[in-house]
Amino acid sequence: MRATRTGPLLAALTAAALLAAGCGQKPGVAEMYAGGAAAGAVGGAQPGAAADAGLGGPAGPAGSAPGSAAGATTSGPTGTTTGGATGPGGAVAGSRGGGAGAAGSGASSTSPGGDATGVTDTTIKIGIHAPVTGAAAFPQQSFERAVGVYADYINRKGGIYGRKIQIVFRDDRFDPNSARTVCKEMVEQQKVFMLVGAGGSDQIDACARYANQLGVPYLSGGVHETRPGLGPLSALKTYFAGSLTYEQQVPLVARLVATEFRGQKSAVIMADNDSMDNYYGLQVAAVRKVSGSNLVLARRIPKKTDVDAPSIATQICNSGAKVVVWNASPSGLINVSKSMTCQVTFVGPGNTNGLNIVATGGCPNIDGAMFYSSFPGLDRIDQMDPAFRPAYRRKNNAEPDDIGVATWGNEKLIGMMLQATGKQLTRQSFMATIGRVGRFDNGVFPATDYTRSRFGGTAMHLLEADCGSRQYRTKRLNERP
C-alpha cells in the first residue's frame, strides 16, 4: 500500500467487515442503508439513494455483476464471508496465496450508478486520520512499518480487481477541529474515495459528521453512539462502525468487574468530553448494579491528563478502589499509572488502551490490566493468521508489534470490503454492500454483522497486561455482550 503524506504514516484502520451483495437480509435493511444495488437480487439494480447519502440528488442504477448464489460461503486469504452473492472475483480463489479477485477495468468519477471519486482503473484512494501527535500519540515507526503489510501481500497477487490501494494519511493531532480540517482536505483536495478514522472518539465524530454531509463513506472502530445536541452516529447515512461501540461493551466490562473482582471496591474514571456522556451514565449504572456500595468513586477527568495525573492517582488510591474502569486516552492511563502509590487493576473497553505501548509505559503499575480489543495479542496471531508474521517481516525486515496486528486485520477487512462490492465500485454500491452483510470473519477480528445496525461489532477479544514481558496477552477470544 502506497501512502502519500505530509506527516507520519498510520493505517490502524478499524473498518467494517463487508460481504457480497445478495439476499437473506433482515427486514428494513434496504431502507437503512444508502446504496445503489437492488437488495436480494443478483445482477439487479435500483435507483441509488444519493439524496439520503447527502449527495443532493438521485444516483443512477448501480447494478452488481452476476456471481455465486446467495447464501454461499466463500473462503480465501482474506477470510470467510457468508450470506450473500458475489460478483466475479468477489470470492477469493483457493487457500492462502490465492488471488484477491480478477483484474479488470476500473470505475471513474463518472461511472454509471453513482460517485466513484477516488477510483481509477488502477487505484483506489483511501483517506485515513489518526492521532500521531497530541495526548494520544503513538510510535511513528510502528505505524510506518505496519501500514501496507497486508496490502502489499494481497497486491502481489493482483490487487483488488486489478486496482492497488493508495493511502493518504493525515495526523489529526487528537483534536476534533484539526480532524475535520484534515478530513476536508483529503476529501476536497486529495479526492479520496472514502475516509477511515483510526482512533479518538471526538475526532471520529467530527469527521464522520462531515463525511455524511458530502455522501462520503466513513468507517471506524466502535466509539460512542451519540453526542448531545448532534444526535446518534447511527443516523448518519454514510457511517459504519466495525467493532462494538462503548455502549455495546458496557455489559462486557460490568461482567468483568462482577466475575474477576467480586466483592472488591470499584471506581469508574472517564474522559470528560461530551461524546462520552451517554456511555459514562450507562457504565456507571452497570458497575453500580454489580458492585452496589462497593462503587466508591465515579468521576470525569480532562481529556489531556499530563498535569492532572498525580491528583487523579491520589484520588483513586484514597478511595480504596481495587478495580478501576478506565476509558480515557492511553497517554492518560500511562501518566496516571506512573503516579499511583497503591495497587489497582485497570479494566475497560477497547481498543487503544490494550496496546503494548501502554504496557511498556505503564508497567509495573498496570500489571494485570484487562482491556477489550478487536484484535488479538502477538501471542495468538500466528495461530489465528499464519500469513501475518512472514508478510510483516518481508516488508520491514523486522519483527512485528501489535500495532502491526491491528493494521493487518483492518487492511484485510478493507480489502474484503472492496472486493465484495465488485468491479463497478462507487460510493453508493460500496455502502449498499455493507447493508447486505450477513456474517463476515477475517480470522483476526471478531465477525461483523450489519444486518441490524450500522454498529457492526458482535464480540471483542480480552487482553491482559503482563508486566513481566511488558506486553498484553490474549486472555479470551470473542466475548459477546
Q: Which residues on neighbouring strands pair with residue 47, listed in sequence order?
A: 61
- Is residue 172 within 8 A of residue 131, CB to CB? The reply is yes
Instruction: Outline where DSSP puts E strands in 333-452.
Output: 345-348, 370-373, 439-441
Q: What is the DSSP string of 163-194?
A: BEEEEEEEE-TT-HHHHHHHHHHHHHTS--SE
pLDDT of residue 178: 96
Q: Compute the distance between CA of residue 159 and CA of residue 123 in angstroms, rounded to an integer.
A: 9
pLDDT of residue 393: 97
Q: What was the pLDDT predicted at 97?
A: 28
**What residues does 371 pair with on adjacent strands?**
348, 463
Q: How far apart are CA 428 and CA 48, in angstroms?
A: 7
What is residue 280's predicted lDDT score, i.e. its pLDDT?
97
User: What separation in angstroms does the CA of 316 have from each of 331, 364, 365?
Assistant: 17, 17, 13
User: How high is the pLDDT of residue 112?
Assistant: 54
- Residue pair 310/290 in contact (Cβ under 8 Å)? The answer is no
C-alpha–C-alpha distance, residues 148 and 97, integer Å: 17
pLDDT by residue for the chain (481 residues), tens only, comes to: 444 433 333 333 333 332 222 233 333 333 334 433 322 222 222 222 222 222 222 233 333 332 333 333 333 444 544 433 333 223 222 222 222 232 233 334 445 569 999 999 999 999 988 887 775 556 777 877 887 888 889 888 888 999 998 888 888 988 999 999 999 999 999 999 999 988 788 999 999 999 999 999 999 989 999 999 999 999 999 999 989 999 999 999 999 999 999 999 999 999 998 999 999 999 999 999 999 999 999 999 997 777 889 999 999 999 999 999 999 988 899 999 999 999 999 999 988 899 999 999 999 999 999 999 999 999 999 999 999 999 999 999 999 999 999 989 888 888 888 888 999 999 999 999 888 865 778 899 998 898 888 899 999 999 999 999 999 999 999 999 9
Alpha-carbon distance 308 to 131, whole Å? Answer: 21
Which residue is associated with the grid cell 488479538? 376
CB 261 within 8 A of CB 323: yes
pTM tops 0.75 = yes
**Could you tell me the three cell numbers for 459?**
464480540
